[in-house]
Amino acid sequence: MEVKFDHVSLIINEGTPLEKTILNDVSFEIKNPGIYAFLGASNSGKTAVGDLINALMAPTKGSVKVGKFINDGRRIRNVNKLRFETGYVFRNPYDMFFNKTVKEEIEFSIKYFKYKMDKMAIRTSDALKLVGLDDSYLKLNPKILTLVDAKKVALACALVCNPSIIILDEFTNGLNNKDKSELLRLLRMLKNKYKKTIILLSKDTNFCYQIVDQVYIMNLTKLVASGKKELLEDSDFISRIGLEVPLIVKFVDECRSKGHEINYYSNILDLLKGVYRDVF
């Protein structure tokens, strides 16, 4: 499903002393399934990208096209259909929960969108398994889950209705290396097997460097660069806008500074093989 931002600006409290620009003249286009990362420090505007795609906010200027839907400040006909197609996991998963059990939380989306209600129990269970949880979670109160498990349940809620677009806002915050490895496998499967468009709103350059097809760099409300993940290999640029240089890039840069011609690799295993081959 196509996503297109056409000279989008977002200003809140316009015309008051509290006026604040959230996005400033942002344009980009996503046409094909894949994994896309919007990377930026705090207050860069990346979360607003997700809010506008999901029509939780309307642009002050410009327009956001998501498939056949246009978000340009006017009423969107059948906005629920748009949100059915765009599964959105918030930065704080607890903000998404309002039911007493995980089962009710996941089932809510199925009931709300009237999606395959005859297979509700199967889809609920399968959504949990997809994110690495089992049926023992169904009776738990989602508000008392650990942050990691709450994130997984929130992702299950987003996946249960099989959306075309999946938006994850700072999803890797709080995840350990094992959780991140499982998430990498899940996102690759969603992209390759199910042809999903996955949009990551993140500061986690290490995670994104391993998986993204396209990078969009946000800084101080503007889209300042876009391209392949090689953008993250420009250490000076990445540091200057307040992001962490990926550890793999740091390591390779250090090796090169000592005269070892090592290529950049997306993951540690490939890097180790490269070091062994090129250095030893």
State residue 221's pLDDT score.
97
Helix (H, G, I), strand (E, B) or coil at 229: helix
The predicted pLDDT at position 256 comes to: 84
The dihedrals phi and psi of 76, each to the nearest 5 degrees, come to -95, 120
pLDDT of residue 72: 95
Phi-psi region of 143 (alpha: psi -120 to 50; beta: other; left: phi over 0): alpha
Are the beta carbons of 55 and 79 closer than 8 angstroms? yes
pLDDT at 263: 81
Confidence (pLDDT) at 261: 80
What order of strands is seen across the sheet that includes strand 222-227? 86-89, 165-169, 197-202, 34-39, 214-219, 222-227
Question: What does the pLDDT read at residue 266?
Answer: 78
Residue 205: per-residue pLDDT: 97
Map residue 214 onto helix, strand or coil: strand
| pLDDT score for 259 | 82
pLDDT at residue 264, rounded to an integer: 83
CB atoms within 10 A of CB 276: 9
Q: Using 50 as the pLDDT threshold, list the residues of the chain that sit under it.
A: none
Looking at the DSSP assignment, which residues form a beta bridge with residue 227?
Answer: 215
pLDDT digits (tens, 9 = 90+) for 169-189: 999 999 999 999 999 999 999
Q: What is the pLDDT of residues 113-165, one digit of tens each?
A: 989 899 999 999 999 999 999 999 999 999 999 999 999 999 999 999 999 99
Give the burial class of 241: count Cβ atoms within 10 A of its Cβ; 0-12 exposed, 13-18 middle, 19 or more buried.
middle
State the Cα–Cα distance between residues 106 and 121, nearest whole angstrom: 10
CA atoms within 13 A on the CB side of 128: 22
Mean pLDDT, the chain, whole residue set: 93
